[in-house]
Structure 1
Amino acid sequence: MQCIEFFTYASALQWGVRVDGTDLRVHAADATREPWRLENQDDTTPEEREEFLFSQHAGLTQDELGDPARHFLGEGGPGLLRATTGAVAVLGCSCGIWECWPLLTHITVTPETVEWSGFRQPYRPTWGELPMGPYVFPRAAYENALAHPVHLAGDPLTALPHRTQQAAGDGRAIRGDRQDGTDRSLSEWPR
């Protein structure tokens, strides 16, 4: 089973998720890297592609979620549950309008577990189910994490996670390092 951590950040009180210590946005970036590569054969640099992958999603705001406990137990906040598929948005678009680019999953609750499976991008049906999960969490630990989110001053994903050259697809290492060894924030990457 996996471990889950819920956290809130920013003045809009956005809700984020870590699975086994890794931000869900990193899992989504890894799962969408190949479909995006196939779809976007353009002039962007490997660094720009990585920046895009890691900045495509943001957490859902408290206002969007309504009751976070009900939402993350599969009932979906106002408008965040797709009636036709039963999928629930667990991340929204980084532009601030969650509906632009949500990450959807099915949340299945049993007396012992909570499972997230069938991750999809609704605006890319040809991608099918994304290669992430299923994530299965002990229900008691899940509910405890949901009841006690970690409160952060800012978005914890402000620098690109360290990536190897293989992830970039061109043999070069992709890192957000400055020459002094510290990571650059996403805002410092060239646009």
Structure 2
Amino acid sequence: MTAMQRIEFLNYPDDERPSALLWGFRIDGTDLRVHVADATRDLWRQEHEEETQAEQERFLLTQHNGLYVSEVGDPARHFLGDPAPEFAHPSTGATPVLGCCCGVWGCWPLLAMITTTPETVTWTSFRQPFRREWGELPLGPYVFARPAYATALAEPIRVAEDPLGHGR
């Protein structure tokens, strides 16, 4: 059996629109964007070979941002794998869990399949739909105990700034 992970749901302000909150996540204490950076580092290497290592790392950590709280609407539905039709990937039904750093979630979303049982919520099959050649990213699966997941989702941690300390 896969070991259970711990998720924290966060709400933090958009640096460019401080009154607008974003959804963020920590899995086992690490921001999901750090996990994505680790999973895509080698995939990006060829496209960013002219940049310094520091520039590459900054890009990796800023390629995604959270989804706007106002856009998600019903977070319980969305983050339990039943997103509103405008969010669901048309062919797979995958759910966006991160959006683009530009503020338009659909520009560069991170998609995941979110499946539930009475005991668990599982995030798998992470993909970047605009890089089909990448296939499934080496992330997860992340399996969460459903009661703890539901509690974390219902009571997101409000933080004063982007947890990674950078804007767009």
TM exceeding 0.5: yes
CA RMSD in angstroms comes to: 1.3
Q: 1:75 aligns with which of 57, 73, 82?
A: 82
Distance of 1:149 and 1:32 partners within structure 2: 27
1:5 pairs, out of 2, 5, 8, with 8
> Is 1:23 matched up with 2:23?
no
- Normalising by the residue count of structure 2, what TM-score does the alignment of the two structures yield? 0.91
Aligned to 1:96: 103
Runs of 4+ in structure 1 deviating by more than 4 angstroms, as ranges, are: none
Q: CA deviation at 1:38?
A: 3.0
Q: Structure 2 unaligned runs (5+)?
A: 14-18
Assess if the C-alpha contact under 8 Å between 1:64 and 1:78 holds in 2: no
SS in 1 for 2:45: helix
Please state whether the residue corresponding to 1:74 is helix, strand or coil: coil
> CA contact under 8 A between 1:7 and 1:15: conserved in structure 2?
yes
Deviation per residue, 1:13-35 (Å, 9 max, x gap): 10101100000000011101010
| Residue type at the aligned position of 1:6 | F
Q: Distance in 2 between matches of 1:99 and 1:123?
A: 10
- State the TM-score, normalizing by the size of structure 1: 0.81
Larger RCO, structures 1/2 (Cα 8 Å, 6+ apart)? 2
Are 1:62 and 2:65 an aligned pair?
A: no
| Whole-angstrom CA distance in 2 between matches of 1:131 and 1:22 | 16
Higher strand share: 2
Q: Is the 8 A contact 2:121 2:143 kept in 1?
A: yes
CA contact 1:3–1:20 (8 Å) conserved in 2? yes
Does structure 1 conserve the Cα–Cα contact (< 8 Å) formed by 2:24 and 2:67? yes
Deviation at 1:39, TM superposition (A): 3.4
Aligned AA for 1:142?
A: Y
**Which residue in 1 is equivalent to 2:132?**
125
**What is the aligned residue count?**
160
| Matched position secondary structure for 1:141 | helix
Residue correspondence of structure 1 range 1-191 to structure 2 within 5 A:
1-10=4-13, 11-41=19-49, 43-77=50-84, 79-158=86-165
Identity %: 61
